[in-house]
Amino acid sequence: MPAQLTSLLHFNPMQASLSSKCNTASIPQKAWLTQQTVSDSPIGVFVEELDGWLQICLYLLHEQSKQQSVWGPYITSLPREVDLPLFWSEQELQELQGTQLLTSVEGYRAFFEGRFAELDAELFSKHREAFPKDTFTMDSFLWAVATVRSRIHSPLDGDYVALVPLADLVQHRRGGNSQWVPQQTGGLFKKGNALVVEAQASVGEGEVISMDFGAYPEEKLDSQVLLDYGTMDVDQNQGGFLLSLDLSEEDRFYDDKADVLESNGLAESSSFILRPNEEPSGELLGFLRLLNLSGQDSFLLEALFRNEAWGHMLAPVSELNERAVYQSMLEGCQAALDGYETSAEEDRALLSRVPPGSRKHKAILVRLGEKETLESTLKFFDDRIERLSELEFYQERRLKRLGLLDDDGRSTYDDFFKDGIA
């Protein structure tokens, strides 16, 4: 075994630091635990059709069952308890009542339990020599899943998933001071790959090495970071609400609306992040207007307007359509707020009475972030619905482009008739 790999696998987590000279730490690819590692192992032939992350989960358990393993020191260093909400007690989960996070936790648990049942019936039971019953249990499977999912980050995720000793010790902080950067190493005739933990600014001695787990490859709320990684930055919390919208197949204009979305790079089911004290994005409002488009406004879906349809959705279409958009959001936000057992005011008071960073503290921050977002969004649409008469709709914009209305909305052809020209 290469000396560099040996030293990494016996690495003491307490000694993690960036190079004082170049503010980087480089981990060669031969020290990564990858799908190729699994493929070269005795279980490789049995799991080659599974997702990459799942292959690595099963490999961890397989190596754990061996008396001697090249990965033994690394696996031994992994915490036996992973602090994901997936492992919270029922009492602790009760603190998440009404939140999107609780729904996600329940969905994760159901998925992983179902996946284990499938694997046990279709794979483990048929190849017990490779998957011993006392090692491949539901509890151990959940531990492996949580361990892998909480230690993988972009760019080594998805189709290129890998566990990287040393690099996976980096902690989560919003706007962290480092990032993972893939790098090609070696000379002209000896090339290879490495993962570099690269500082984004000068890192002082004793400063914690951190990166933002919720920044890449796409923005994540605190609740999503907590769900996947079991952590959150309680000092710079970023609460919010993930709004998921679907184009109903029962919509009379389903095909036309789906075509408009597809031609503009949008899916029929899309999610939008809402944040407290931030206005909903123009893309979200456009999506809502398209979903609620009906009646006389549906002429914008005709082939003649198809290429411009999405552009029209980014501004108010008609008073009827805009009112439907606002009303749907008002009703949705209020229904979500009614699902919590505590109010935002009660949560703010509770925060000062629980230990910072505790599970209860994190749960309160999550649900408070959702409530503050919903209340802020509720106020936004409530204010907008009161000002509907002040908005400019499609027909007015069209007449202005034709020069038939001035900027104040007055007709430019009144004098045409008054002077008897017509």
pLDDT of 209-226, one tens digit each? 999 999 887 889 999 999
| pLDDT at residue 228, rounded to an integer | 95
CATH of the domain at 198: 3.90.1410.10
φ, ψ at 339 (rounded to 5°): -85, -10
In a domain, 415, yes or no: no
d(CA 378, CA 389): 19
Provide mean pLDDT across the span 306-325: 95
In a domain, 407, yes or no: no
23 or 275, which is more confident = 275
Same domain, 180 and 274: no
User: How many domains are contained in the chain?
Assistant: 2
In the predicted model, is pLDDT for residue 192 greater than 80? no
Same domain, 220 and 348: no
Confidence of residue 421 (pLDDT cuts 50, 70, 90): very low
Range of the domain at 169: 3-202+213-229
Same domain, 223 and 252: no
| pLDDT at residue 398, rounded to an integer | 82
Provide mean pLDDT across the span 310-314: 95
In the predicted model, is pLDDT for residue 330 greater than 80? yes
In a domain, 18, yes or no: yes
The top-scoring range by mean pLDDT among 10-24, 171-185, 278-292 is: 278-292
Same domain, 310 and 380: yes
| pLDDT at residue 415, rounded to an integer | 52
Same domain, 387 and 274: yes
In the predicted model, is pLDDT for residue 189 greater than 90? no
| pLDDT at residue 412, rounded to an integer | 55
In a domain, 142, yes or no: yes
Same domain, 246 and 223: no
Cβ–Cβ under 8 Å, residues 317 and 289: yes
In the predicted model, is pLDDT for residue 186 greater than 70? no
Same domain, 307 and 332: yes
Structural tokens at position 206: 């004793």
Provide mean pLDDT across the span 14-19: 38
How many other CB atoms sit within 10 Å of the CB of residue 147?
Answer: 21
CATH of the domain at 309: 3.90.1420.10
In a domain, 132, yes or no: yes
Same domain, 164 and 299: no
Mean pLDDT of the chain: 88
d(CA 291, CA 277): 25
Same domain, 8 and 86: yes
In the predicted model, is pLDDT for residue 261 greater than 70? yes
| pLDDT at residue 399, rounded to an integer | 75
- pLDDT for 128-142, tens place per residue? 999 999 999 999 999
In the predicted model, is pLDDT for residue 20 greater than 50? no
Beta bridge partners of 178: 199
Same domain, 71 and 106: yes
Same domain, 221 and 267: no
| pLDDT at residue 142, rounded to an integer | 97
Confidence of residue 9 (pLDDT cuts 50, 70, 90): very low
| pLDDT at residue 159, rounded to an integer | 85
| pLDDT at residue 291, rounded to an integer | 97
Same domain, 298 and 348: yes
In a domain, 234, yes or no: no
Catalytic (active-site) positions = 216
In a domain, 16, yes or no: yes
| pLDDT at residue 300, rounded to an integer | 94
- Residue keyed to tokens 């003491």: 12
Confidence of residue 12 (pLDDT cuts 50, 70, 90): very low
In a domain, 413, yes or no: no
In the predicted model, is pLDDT for residue 17 greater than 60? no
- pLDDT for 82-125, tens place per residue? 999 999 999 999 999 999 999 999 999 999 999 999 999 999 99
SS3 sequence, the chain? Answer: CCHHHHHHHCCCHHHCCCCCCCCEEEEEHHHCEEHHHHHCCCCHHHHCCCCHHHHHHHHHHHHHCCCCCCCHHHHHHCCCCCCCHHHCCHHHHHCCCCCHHHHHHHHHHHHHHHHHHHHHHHHHCCCCCCCCCCCCCHHHHHHHHHHHHCCCCCCCCHHHCEECCCHHHCEECCCCCEEEEEEEEECCCCEEEEEEEEECCCCCCCCCCEECCCCCCCCCCHHHHHHHHCCCCCCCCCCCEEEEEECCCCCCCHHHHHHHHHHCCCCCEEEEEECCCCCCCHHHHHHHHHHCCCHHHHHHHCHHHHHHHHHHHCCCCCHHHHHHHHHHHHHHHHHHHCCCCCCHHHHHHHHCCCCCCCHHHHHHHHHHHHHHHHHHHHHHHHHHHHCHHHCCCHHHHHHHHCCCECCCCCECCHHHHHCCCC
